[in-house]
Amino acid sequence: MTQGSSQPLHRVVVIVDENSNPFELGCATEVFGLRRPELGPDRLYDFRLCAPEPGTLMRDGFFTLSGVAPLAAAEEADTLIVPNRPDTEVPRRPAVLAAVRRAHARGARLIGFCSGAFTLAEAGVLDGRRATAHWQWADEFRARFPAVHLESDVLFVDDGDVLTSAGSAAALDLGLHVVRRDHGAEVANAVSRRLVFAAHRDGGQRQFVERPVPEPRDESLGPLVAWAQERLDTPLKVADLAVRAAVSQATLHRRFRAQLGTTPLAWLTAERLALACRLIERGESRLEVVARRSGLGTAANLRALMRRETGLTPSAYRARFGPGAGRAG
């Protein structure tokens, strides 16, 4: 919601159940719940937690969560984040499953972080749909829910009104994706900077990164990525990146896969599209200029990529996120 807008804030509600993982709960609170003074006085979302009982014992008995709203708060959610628990074999509470089904029936957006996909599947809202979960539960999930199209080697899946993510930090990837979808690339980038987290890792990137802490230091992609981000408007190719890094294209491909979970070309395209979105949000209306300044070449290529990645045409994106447009309510 933009400053001064009279539209009600989009309400995000998290259901916390017994043995829920506090990490994903913290991710949801950080992304959707906190004020962002650098973006203005308004919150991005109306955020609240709810639980079936007054006191909820969190994962492995680390602590008891109390003082949150009762489960009835889920009935008012525009986006409902469902419980994720490591004891995937334990059936979810009937009251929680019923709340998920009612939210889905009235058109609320549903999000499952990590093992939250089990909650959604048990509620019956994933049948015939795409989803993901932590790779270590892939075999169990497929055995229990064969009607769900599980994609076990991606960070997150956006299936429209039902979204799921892989384990741990992928909750932040999905959360930022939702902010980008609701409020545009500029706001999502501001939130990611505050989190000191990668601004954009698309859902198709791999869950398992072979070398999350690259070593030795001179193999880090950090300097190359920073160099390329300053030159997106130039005709950079993968071969140029390899020359800059002083490695073969095959070696560069392996390093991108190992450190970023994607290919050099896919990374370059995603960075250019994100820049194009920011240019449109800042008021540039000439598609040829946006395409040229973002390195996407032609307006036709820009249109095709925007529709594929955001589901919106450039004109629809401008109407939603451009100067003077209200953010998603």
Q: For position 54, which CATH number holds?
A: 3.40.50.880
Alpha-carbon distance of 32 to 73, in angstroms, equals: 16
- What is the distance in angstroms between the CA of the first residue and the CA of the last residue of the chain? 6
Q: Is there a domain that residue 2 lies in?
A: no
How many residues would you count in the chain?
A: 329
Residue that is last in its domain, among 194, 224, 246: 194
pLDDT band at 36 (very low <50, low <70, confident <90, very high): confident
Does residue 223 sit in the same domain as residue 306? yes
Q: What is the span of the domain harbouring residue 274? A: 213-260+263-329
- At residue 139, the pLDDT reads 92
Does residue 183 sit in the same domain as residue 218? no
**Is the confidence at residue 154, as pLDDT, over 90?**
no
Does residue 27 sit in the same domain as residue 174? yes
The whole-model pTM stands at: 0.74
- At residue 8, the pLDDT reads 85
pLDDT band at 218 (very low <50, low <70, confident <90, very high): very low
- At residue 167, the pLDDT reads 79
**Is the confidence at residue 328, as pLDDT, over 60?**
no
Mean pLDDT of 278-304: 93
**Which range has the worst mean pLDDT, 1-10, 174-183, 218-227?**
1-10
Q: Is there a domain that residue 200 lies in?
A: no
Q: Is there a domain that residue 272 lies in?
A: yes
Q: Is there a domain that residue 317 lies in?
A: yes
Number of domains the chain contains: 2
Does residue 38 sit in the same domain as residue 172? yes
Does residue 112 sit in the same domain as residue 229? no
Instruction: Tell me the pLDDT tens digit for each residue of 91-128.
Output: 999 999 999 999 999 999 999 999 999 999 999 999 99
Q: Is there a domain that residue 236 lies in?
A: yes
Mean pLDDT of 214-230: 72
Does residue 161 sit in the same domain as residue 55? yes
Does residue 317 sit in the same domain as residue 271? yes
- At residue 4, the pLDDT reads 44
Q: Is there a domain that residue 207 lies in?
A: no
The better pLDDT of the pair 303, 60 is held by: 303
**Which range has the worst mean pLDDT, 56-65, 69-78, 308-317, 319-328?**
319-328
Q: For position 316, which CATH number holds?
A: 1.10.10.60
Write out the two tokens for 211: 């070398």
Residue that is last in its domain, among 142, 167, 194: 194
- Name 220's Cβ contacts closer than 8 Å, sequence gap at least 6: 214, 259
Does residue 134 sit in the same domain as residue 235? no
Residue that is last in its domain, among 148, 164, 194: 194
pLDDT band at 34 (very low <50, low <70, confident <90, very high): confident
Does residue 115 sit in the same domain as residue 240? no
Q: Is there a domain that residue 5 lies in?
A: no
Instruction: Tell me the pLDDT tens digit for each residue of 232-261.
Output: 999 899 999 999 999 999 999 999 888 877
Mean pLDDT of 195-222: 52
Does residue 176 sit in the same domain as residue 61? yes
Mean pLDDT of 313-318: 90
Q: Is there a domain that residue 249 lies in?
A: yes
Give the CA distances from residue 194 to residues 74, 169, 187, 272, 296, in Å, rounded to whole numbers and listed in that order: 28, 15, 11, 22, 28
Please, are residues 110 and 125 in contact by the beta-carbon 8 Å criterion?
yes
**Is the confidence at residue 3, as pLDDT, over 90?**
no
- At residue 260, the pLDDT reads 79
pLDDT band at 217 (very low <50, low <70, confident <90, very high): very low
Does residue 229 sit in the same domain as residue 151? no
pLDDT band at 132 (very low <50, low <70, confident <90, very high): very high
**Is the confidence at residue 213, as pLDDT, over 70?**
no
- 216: preceding bond cis by omega (within 30 degrees): yes
- Name 46's Cβ contacts closer than 8 Å, sequence gap at least 6: 8, 9, 10, 11, 12
- At residue 265, the pLDDT reads 93
- At residue 202, the pLDDT reads 53
Does residue 161 sit in the same domain as residue 275? no
The mean pLDDT of the chain is 87
